[in-house]
Amino acid sequence: MTTVDVFNHHVPAESDFGYSQAIRSDDLIHVSGQLSLDEAGNFLHADDFAAQLKQTYANFDRILNHYGATRNQIVSQTLYVVNLQQNARAVSEGNLRYFGDHRPVSTVLGVCELTFPGQVVETSFIIDTKLTA
């Protein structure tokens, strides 16, 4: 029997758009696109890539903590980046800082725009809780 555990930040967008932040099905956790929101759901750091990525990863850490998972259990990351050529170095630096020696698979897509004015990054993840840290 498959067990399912859903996680939400309890921000308005979850009900407005009809989605969950993460859902665990057995050993895999699929995480919706995380972005630079505070705990009340307010968008932060318009047009500041480094600050948005830092807040995005902080929000993702809340999900990891909920499931008792670690960064070393992340198996896949997809990043959506506005102005990819301009922000490529910041993507690399942010990933190296966040993941350390762990190397999940990663896809980076350059996009024209994201949900909020000034939003320049969003990232989603897949976590395998069977992996050992």
Rounded to whole angstroms, how far apart are CA atoms 7 and 67?
A: 9
- For residue 61, what are the contacts with CB-CB under 8 A and spacing of at least 6? none
User: How does residue 47 score in pLDDT terms, banded at 50, 70 and 90?
Assistant: very high
Residue 3 confidence (pLDDT): 67
Q: Mean of the per-residue pLDDT values for the chain?
A: 93
Which tens digits make up the pLDDT trace of 60-106? 999 999 999 999 999 999 999 999 999 999 999 999 999 999 999 99
Q: pLDDT value at position 39?
A: 87
The pLDDT value recorded for residue 41 is 87
Q: Within a 13 Å sphere around the CA of 40, how many CA atoms are in the beta-carbon half?
A: 2
pLDDT of residue 13: 79
Mean pLDDT of the region 99-127: 97
Q: How far, in Å, CA of 63 to CA of 57, rounded?
A: 10
| Integer Cα distance of 31 and 59 in angstroms | 11
Q: Which pLDDT value is given to residue 53?
A: 97
Domains in the chain (CATH in brackets) are 4-128 (3.30.1330.40)
Residue 1 pLDDT exceeds 60 = no
- Residue 29 class from Cβ within 10 Å (0-12 exposed, 13-18 middle, 19+ buried)? buried
